[in-house]
Structure 1
């Protein structure tokens, strides 16, 4: 099974590309992350009529035992975009997205 940051990168990409609705992430976000997705999803350049965006690479650094800060590169045809996000593990031991940013768009 892929690590949590890779699974979340795929989930975020599905929402930001329009493949999945934003509310699909309701149980997978905490804090401002859901509102960030609500603002980002309609404006993202990943919602183009061109080829489906593809996750090329995703790496992570744990700033602590219950947090992961990750960055991903996403290919949309010839264009490569960057996405950054933070995961936090709750008391129930489940990972949830706490923040998300996409290059070129305000957080």
Structure 2
């Protein structure tokens, strides 16, 4: 392979198909397009489509709230469906350690059914912070999960605290 001529890096010379040399038009034209009409452009992502007087041409689907996302992520870890390290980039401070210790005991694992998030509530103590709770149902059992989210400078939410409440094993004298 030889060196490209200056100013032509990354381009290939036009090639003609055998037997078609000189019969192909120099550029591709759409005969249905009126003369002088601008060429068509590629479709853009719905979030990038221009809006009209009637609103966006393609409305974007609603994004899930961070409380919903984190409740599902935390539940997946605490029920053993996802490994704890999947939350490494989504936690800060001691929240990862707390999550690791909670998941180690497998509080939402067992033969009582698949745990699901039944309800989520939250409180915003200040802009960029959310204190949330989730009611976790497993069969006929109900547990509570509380967590705190903080918005980082990179505009990503991270979990800074997590706790799990609900039925525990009975207290014994050995404790």
Q: TM-score, normalised by structure 1?
A: 0.93
Q: Which residue of 2 aligns with 1:71?
A: 133
Q: Which residue of 1 aligns with 2:51?
A: none
Q: Which moved more, 1:39-48 or 1:73-82?
A: 39-48
- Distance (Å, rounded) in 2 between the aligned partners of 1:27 and 1:59: 24
Q: Which residue of 1 aligns with 2:70?
A: 8
Q: C-alpha offsets along residues 41-91 of structure 1, whole Å, 9 cap, x if unaligned?
A: 021420113311000001111111110000000000000000000000000
Q: Higher helix fraction: Structure 1 or Structure 2?
A: 1
Task: Give the ranges of 4+ consecutive aligned residues of structure 1 lying more than 3 Å apart after TM superposition.
Answer: none
Question: What is the aligned residue count?
Answer: 105
- Distance (Å, rounded) in 2 between the aligned partners of 1:23 and 1:85: 17
Q: Which residue of 1 aligns with 2:91?
A: 29
Rg larger in 1 or in 2? 2
- Distance (Å, rounded) in 2 between the aligned partners of 1:59 and 1:50: 24
Say whether 1:59 aligns with 2:138: no
Say whether 1:42 aligns with 2:104: yes
Q: TM-score, normalised by structure 2?
A: 0.58
Gaps of 5+ in 2: 1-62, 169-175
Q: Which moved more, 1:91-100 or 1:42-51?
A: 42-51
| Higher RCO, Cα 8 Å, sep 6+ | 1
- Distance (Å, rounded) in 1 between the aligned partners of 2:72 and 2:113: 16
